Chain A
Amino acid sequence: MLRKKIHLQPPLLAFAGAALVLSFIFFLVPMGFIGSYVGTEEKGVVDGLISVVNSRLVRVVFANTVEISVSAAILTVLLAYPVALHIVRQKARWRIVCFSLVLMPFWTSILVKSYALLIILGDDGLVNTALRALFGIDGINMMFNRFAVLVGTTNFLVPYAVFPILASLAAQNMQIQRAAEVMGASPLRIFWSITFIQSMPGVLAALLMCMVISMGFFVTPALLGGRQDMMMANIIDMYTREILDWQSASLISVLLLVFSGALSVAILKIQSRTGA
């Protein structure tokens, strides 16, 4: 396989340049401010780091955050894959309809979606009322627990996963599949050996994006979660606004950023090995 180095053409550079300037002003500079708080006069960086890492609160919440984001990302990709596969097989006009169906929740405020889930999943919600009326089951506890957080998170993330998967499905050469068909491969075999393998870069990109996005979730665990579903963003908020301990807040933020960064590098490594 021949790997070409990609050089940005001058006109393209102008497009990328605007994005670079934006992310410099709105990401790197604020990150620098946050980073400048890791050490204070009373407590150096090392002491601060030790007290943050030793805090049971931070450790438990960190484990929670990783658990929730990894499981949410996997669930999201599992849910988004069939959607993307369906969209890619539609005719052009239907595709636009499907696109807007995927994007509609993407545009809806996360607060609105969270309250809507309360109406659907609650003790007196649609699902439980239907279960009671149809089967006489005495309701399932689906609210204020990990389940509700995962439903809320995947609901938010599905559009983020659909598009990269869709892109890698749409880029496939249909001739290969046709060739396999001619040679007598079953549809399942074609899917696993050709379609799925070739869509792996999209799947990995989707996984990565969902994981990184859900690590910063704040509203969903606060509104839908139970007492054990606190996430890093909730703790950072507590340190910043309630306790005014900006040193711990910035240390936790930096740790979270480093962790997401390391995760991204790992996944990108795997992605490049799959031969995208």
Chain B
Amino acid sequence: MIDKSRSNPAISRRSVLKAMSASAIAGIGSFPFIKPAFAADPLVMVSYGGSYADALKEVIADPFTKASGIPVQILNTPDLAKVKAQITSRNVSWDIFDASGPLIMAGSSAGYWETIDTSIVNTSRVVGGVGQDRVPNYIFCGGVAWNKEQHPSGQPRNFKDFWDTGKFPGRRAMRNRVSETLEMALLADGVSPKELYPLDVERGFKSLDRIKPHVRKWFEQTPQMVTLLQSKEIDWIYAYPNRIRVAQESGIPLEFSFDQTLNLFNYMAVLKGSKRRRQAMEYINFALQPETQARLADKLGLAPVVQGAETLMKESSRKWLPDVSNPNNVFVNDEYWGAHYAELDKRFKEWILI
């Protein structure tokens, strides 16, 4: 039997406990359950964080508060699981959900959004993407991007090139989700952009089989578009130009090709059971004013969704806009994904693993 009384005294249980508790205290600093208190009941909007949230605050939320007297609180990360939790527990604390197509469509088919009140929200000038329970707030796009310090001789500029591993041998990176990826695969395989939907799923996966060995990383997070190129771990990546623009402005030599892009809507929706439904509708209407749209587009390198906003934009930001009239480009069909995302994404994730 071990004689504990003669154990080594310097490493006492106490010193280990001290070390452990110090690390526990470090953890408490990020305690997520404490909510900040607000004087007036603000309109709560949840959206993607970072520079995007800063721009929303400056261009839309603050002027809206000044005009209407309604304070706006912007939260990070549009998480559909939290929407589901709020709605099923009938304790809705978010009002506006600002997110990309797959999330909005999944929420729409689950019935999580209020009908858009067209007596408040003027949707007549919106170029497309308006649904009964959702309104787009900007258009973004995805295409091929690279680091200028690599492969100075030539770059793939469209999805066919991206798939052409004979002409462009190198490491590729794509998103690890089925939407956008399947569209890319079909366009690369020669499907005409006009006849893309409904997607030929079998052909799409066959085309993906060909690129699979050349894809080094199926990335999860949007910021990885920049980090993977910056660290030169990847030669060509499917990326969003607004991310590439921000990287360029901070001196990272990245480049994006507008020769072929997938164009996508980002949407706003109001949570079912929101206590500030009317104010939320007013906010959405405010966000659709041409001046507001132009300023947001200038700031973020995104395309406005209302007619007349483009002419109000700065010349320098216009070159970052997705070309909606280019026949090579495709608008991602969110209704299609609303109906097929769950089933196809499961198949895609399985395909990736095997």
A residues sitting closer than 8 Å to B (CB atoms) are 1, 55-57, 60-61, 64, 87-88, 92, 95, 99, 103, 106-107, 115, 118-119, 122-125, 143-144, 163, 166-167, 170-175, 198, 222-223, 226-228, 230, 235, 238, 240-246
Stretch of B48-56, B135-143, B211-219, B271-279 on the interface side: B211-219
Total number of residue pairs linking A and B with CB closer than 8 Å? 119
Question: Looking at the complex, which one of A103, A173, A222, A245 makes contact with B220 (CB distance below 8 Å)?
Answer: A222
Chain B residues, CB < 8 A from A125: 231
Q: Are A172 and B7 in contact (CB under 8 A)?
A: yes
Chain A residues, CB < 8 A from B34: none
Do A95 and B10 contact each other (CB < 8 Å), given the known contacts A57-B346, A124-B233, A230-B352?
yes
Q: Closest residue to A198 on the B side, CB-wise? A: B2
Q: Are A241 and B354 in contact (CB under 8 A)?
A: no
Q: Are B231 and A119 in contact (CB under 8 A)?
A: yes
Do A107 and B23 contact each other (CB < 8 Å), given the known contacts A227-B352, A241-B79?
yes
CB distance from B11 to the nearest CB of A (A): 4
Q: Closest residue to B82 on the A side, CB-wise? A: A241
Q: Are A244 and B354 in contact (CB under 8 A)?
A: no
CA A249 to CA B10, docked complex, whole Å: 46
Chain B residues, CB < 8 A from A226: 216-217
Does B319 lie at the interface of the complex (its beta carbon under 8 Å from any beta carbon of A)?
no
Question: Looking at the complex, which one of A107, A163, A172 makes contact with B16 (CB distance below 8 Å)?
Answer: A163
Q: Are B350 and A144 in contact (CB under 8 A)?
A: no
Q: Are B110 and A122 in contact (CB under 8 A)?
A: no
Chain B residues, CB < 8 A from A245: 342
Chain A residues, CB < 8 A from B10: 92, 95, 170
Q: Are B232 and A115 in contact (CB under 8 A)?
A: no
Q: Closest residue to B112 on the A side, CB-wise? A: A244
CA A118 to CA B223, docked complex, whole Å: 14
Q: A60-B350, A163-B19, A238-B345 are in contact. List 16 more A-B contacts (CB 8 A).
A: A64-B353, A87-B11, A103-B19, A122-B233, A144-B216, A163-B16, A166-B11, A171-B8, A173-B3, A222-B220, A226-B217, A228-B352, A240-B81, A242-B102, A243-B346, A244-B342
Chain A residues, CB < 8 A from B11: 87-88, 95, 166-167, 170
Chain A residues, CB < 8 A from B175: none
How many chain B residues touch A (CB < 8 A): the figure is: 48
Q: Are A60 and B353 in contact (CB under 8 A)?
A: yes
Q: Are B220 and A118 in contact (CB under 8 A)?
A: no
CB distance from B216 to the nearest CB of A (A): 6
Chain A residues, CB < 8 A from B110: 244
Question: Looking at the complex, which one of B1, B22, B81, B227 makes contact with A115 (CB distance below 8 Å)?
Answer: B227
Q: 30 A-B pairs, CB-CB below 8 angstroms?
A: A1-B1, A56-B354, A64-B353, A95-B11, A103-B22, A118-B227, A122-B233, A124-B231, A144-B233, A167-B11, A167-B13, A170-B7, A173-B2, A173-B7, A174-B8, A227-B215, A228-B352, A230-B349, A238-B345, A238-B349, A241-B79, A241-B80, A242-B80, A242-B341, A243-B342, A243-B345, A243-B346, A244-B342, A245-B342, A246-B84
Q: Are A123 and B233 in contact (CB under 8 A)?
A: yes
Q: Are B353 and A170 in contact (CB under 8 A)?
A: no
Q: Are B23 and A106 in contact (CB under 8 A)?
A: yes
